[in-house]
A = this chain, B = another copy of it.
Amino acid sequence: MQPLTIGRLAAAAGVNFEAVRYYERIGLMPPPARAASGHRAYEEAHVRRLTFIRRARELGFSIEDIRALLTLAEPSHASCVQAQEIAQAHLDDVRAKLADLAKLERILAGTVARCSGGPVPSCPVLDMLDAGAKRN
């Protein structure tokens, strides 16, 4: 029941304590009460909110997405269609990046495998960058 300091809050939610100040500055965390010393004094609700933020960040949601999701998570909302839309859009994004990365992986793996560490004129790695654009 007694308030938490910023350090304890950060540890409880699993984030860096400087990130908490950052979230406050950008309006993602509300400005908390202050102790007589001027230290921030947090409640349990802040731990839940900060943990929500941390999980969403781990899943790759942007700050603006999280801002929206936090609003949608309030009990006053009757449906989660909007939350689903945000998650679906993010999923599409993740899948696009996954496809891009898989392509890179394929090209890099093929090139590195062909490189024996021999002389420069025939180095597959440098050749690809110099002349490339053929097999993508």
Contacts and interface: CB of A to CB of B under 8 A. Distances in A.
Contacts of A126: 69, 72-73, 80, 83
A64 interface: no
Nearest to A121: B75
B117 A87 contact: no
Contacts of A94: 101, 104-105, 108
A38 interface: no
Stoichiometry, copies per complex: 2
Interface stretch (A3-11, A21-29, A127-135): A127-135
Contact of A84 (B48, B77, B107, B115): B115
Q: Please classify the interface of chain A as helix (H, G, I), strand (E, B), loop, or mixed, using the class held by over half of its residues.
A: helix
Size category of the binding interface on chain A: 35 or more
A87 B112 contact: yes
A45 interface: no
B108 A90 contact: yes
Interface of A: 48, 52, 55-56, 59-60, 69, 72-73, 75, 77-81, 83-84, 86-88, 90-91, 94-95, 97-98, 101-102, 104-105, 107-109, 111-112, 115, 117-121, 123, 125-126, 128-130, 132-133
